[in-house]
Amino acid sequence: MTRILVVDDDPVLVRALAINLRARHFEVDTAADGASALRRAAAAPPDLVVLDLGLPDLDGVDVVAGLRGWTSVPIVVLSARDTQSAKVDALDAGADDYVTKPFGMDELLARCRAALRRATPERRQPVVTTAAFTVDLAAHKVLRDGVPVRLTPTEWHLLEVLVQNPGRLVTQQQLLREVWGPAYAEETNYLRVYLAQLRRKLEPTPAHPRYLVTEPGIGYRFEP
């Protein structure tokens, strides 16, 4: 059965959504805040997330980004924010669709069905564990020997891209575009500096990296 996670702090709306979705033979889980949503999604990954942006603890855009750290699950945003900038922020963070409150139930259900049709079956694990360190992609945390490792936002983004592609060669240009943007596609010295910093923080022997491997002149590879 297709499983949908509904994230909203309005209990009346959540109940109405749950009734309508279950009537159409969807399995429904709910969360009233962003932290609970991320925990539930990691514990039992859904097939679709319906997400309100106005949550009591986290901004919904941050929840989208947290999910996108490890899963390609379709995300349909619900929000009373109807400005173009709000929609762009949510879509740029990784949302698949945006429905403005108030909305018609039939329209929302149609958008959910469309998002499910577009979805790919691939789902990455939210926690990646090696013998030396653990990366929690959902929580944006790294542990080494059980101790949190402090990474800069750039170091985290670089590690995130590599960890999401285990065993796969990621080119220098791809890393530069994803982490710094298209204008930096030739700045390969950035990669040398930041990979060296990551290795000092994560590798048992930074001079002879086991996990963050260089393919000279081409790119880098994460070997779990």
pLDDT tens per residue, range 14-56: 999 999 999 999 999 999 999 999 999 998 999 999 999 999 9
- Give, in order, the Cα–Cα distances in Å from 30 to each of 156, 158, 171, 178: 29, 32, 39, 32
3-state class (DSSP) for residue 220:
strand
Q: Which of 131, 128, 127 is nearest to 205 (CA)?
A: 131
Averaged pLDDT, 183-189 = 88
pLDDT tens per residue, range 53-101: 999 999 999 999 999 988 889 999 998 888 888 888 888 888 999 999 8
Domain 127-222 has CATH 1.10.10.10: yes
Averaged pLDDT, 146-156 = 95
The percentage of the chain sitting over the pLDDT mark of 90, rounded to a whole number, equals 68
CATH 3.40.50.2300 in the chain, residue ranges: 3-118
Specify the pLDDT at position 210.
96
CATH 1.10.10.10 in the chain, residue ranges: 127-222
The H or E element that residue 143 is part of is: strand 141-144
Averaged pLDDT, 8-15 = 96
User: Which is the CATH superfamily of the domain at 3-118?
Assistant: Response regulator (3.40.50.2300)
In the predicted structure, residue 199 carries a pLDDT above the cut 90: yes
**The dihedral formed by the CA atoms of 62, 63, 68 and 70, expressed in degrees to the nearest 10:** 120
Q: How far apart are CA 208 and CA 110, in angstroms?
A: 53
Which band of pLDDT confidence, cut at 50, 70 and 90, is reported for residue 123?
low
